[in-house]
Amino acid sequence: MAVETTEYLGMLRRMIRAAGRRVADADELEMAALLDLRDELEAAVRLAVLGQRATLGRSWAWVGSALGITRQAAQQRYGRTTPTKETE
């Protein structure tokens, strides 16, 4: 599954870059829509972190290492117990 996930994420990366090139020739509505993707990406990361913690029992140290941040930063950013727009 890791290979498929890596290929899938690579495809998304290429699509996002292509979207940036397209929006470069567009108007402010498309620019705003592109910026909305940032919120979607953050929601996807939060969902992945919560899944890694709940399903696989990953520690905050593991999550922090995977994200390139400290354990404490990972817990502060993704460890909220109150529902957010992304997790509802």
Tell whether 62 is covered by a domain. yes
pLDDT at 50 over 70: yes
The domain containing residue 33 runs over which residues?
A: 2-78
Q: Please report which confidence band the pLDDT of residue 63 belongs to, taking 50, 70 and 90 as the band edges.
A: very high
Mean pLDDT, range 8-17, rounded to an integer: 96
Neighbours of 32 (CB within 10 A): 10
Backbone angles phi, psi at 21, to 5 degrees: -65, -40
Q: What is the 3-state secondary structure (H, E, C) of 8-73?
A: HHHHHHHHHHHHHHHHCCCCHHHHHHHHHHHHHHHHHHHHHHHHHHHHHCCCHHHHHHHHCCCHHH
Tell whether 67 is covered by a domain. yes
Q: How many domains does the chain have?
A: 1
Tell whether 88 is covered by a domain. no
